[in-house]
Every structure is written in C-alpha cells, then in structure tokens.
Structure 1
Amino acid sequence: MSDTVHNRIAVLRAERQVSRRQLAEALGVHYQTVGYLERGEFSPSLHLALRIAEYFEVPVELVFSTKPFPRIGGELTSTKVEDAG
C-alpha cells in the first residue's frame, strides 16, 4: 500500500483563479509548501488538509484521497495558474 496522498489542489486553484502565493497566505504557510502538496512531495497534516478544504468550501474528500482521482477532461487543460504575486 502506498503512502501517497493524492490531491486536487491545483485543479481547485485553477477553477478559482487563486495563485499558490494567495492560497499559502490564506493558510499561513510558505507558498512552496503549496507546490510540494500539489506535486505529492509532502502530505499535509490533518489540520492543514481540513483548512485547505475549508478554504475551497468543499468536503476534504473532494480535495484529498489515498487513491488517484479519475481524470476529468477540464482538469487536463486548466490545472495551472501562474504564480504571480
């Protein structure tokens, strides 16, 4: 069994046009932490995972999973938001 935590942070950011820096500031973390989370290089604490879900106003299961999320057509083309800031 893999310890990987899959997430949809990049997809949610793209849908809402939120930069990594903006999300990081709202969560009180470094913007690089958001990048590490999105790439699966870092698994969030339960507290951080809940705060991310709360920020996007969705259930935590919509953001994080122990199994890969199925690909949806729109996710493939709109997963990146420039990290200006």
Structure 2
Amino acid sequence: MDIRQTIGWNLRRLRVAKGLSQERLALEASIDRSYVGRIERGMENVTVSALEALANVLGVNVAELFSEVGSNSSRPPPLRSGRKPKNS
C-alpha cells in the first residue's frame, strides 16, 4: 500500500469512527468535499495544510494519518445513509 492509500485508509477510518460524513469533515476543515473523497480513495497528493486541517477536525495528531495499515485490516464501513434522527 502506498502512502496516499495509507493516508486515505486512515482518514476514512477516523472519519467513520467520529461519525462524520465527508461533507461535514470537509466543511469543518474548510476544504472541498470532492478533495476529501479523492484523498480517501488514495488518488490525491494531499497537502500538509490539508492534513493539518483534517487532523484538527478529527481531534488527532497528523501522525495518526500515517499509521501503518495491517495486511488483514478490513475496509472501514460506510456511514449509514440518510439524515441523523433529530434529538427531541
């Protein structure tokens, strides 16, 4: 797995664990949603400033995005589609 794929894998894993959509993550990091999608797919040479913004929103150190992915790790699951229920 190359470094772009590793960053994308970890970004998706952390984003899903926080329950954030790509759109919400992008909005809070002040970057384009399609850029987040390309990063997660390993198709983008992500900038250092984008990595910093994403890590800040996720509440992790930038180094966490570079963590090695185990060979037997399964792909992080997608978030449930649709709107979240309103808290009453």
TM-score under structure 2 length normalisation:
0.72
Contact 2:14 2:58 in 1 (8 A): yes
- Give 1 or 2: higher strand fraction: 1
Count of aligned pairs between the two proteins: 79
Q: Write the distance in 2 (CA, Å) between the matches of 1:37 and 1:83.
A: 20
Deviation at 1:58, TM superposition (A): 1.1
> What are structure 2's unaligned runs of at least 5 residues?
84-88
One-letter code aligned to 2:13? V
Q: Which has the larger radius of gyration?
A: 2
- The question of whether the paired residues in 2 share the 8 Å contact of 1:12 and 1:56 is answered with yes
| Residue 82 of structure 1: how far off its partner (Å) | 4.8
Supply the RMSD in Å over aligned alpha carbons: 2.4
Change in Cα spacing, 1:78 to 1:51, as seen in structure 2 (3 Å) is same
Over the matched positions of the two proteins, sequence identity in percent amounts to 19
- How far, CA to CA, are the matches of 1:21 and 1:84 in structure 2? 13
CA drift at 1:64: 2.8
Q: Please, what TM-score do these two structures have when normalized by structure 1?
A: 0.74
Q: Which has the higher contact order (CA 8 A, sep 6+)?
A: 1
8 Å CA contact 2:21–2:79 kept in 1: the answer is yes
Aligned match of 1:69 = 69
Q: Residue 21 of structure 1 corresponds to which residue in structure 2? A: 23
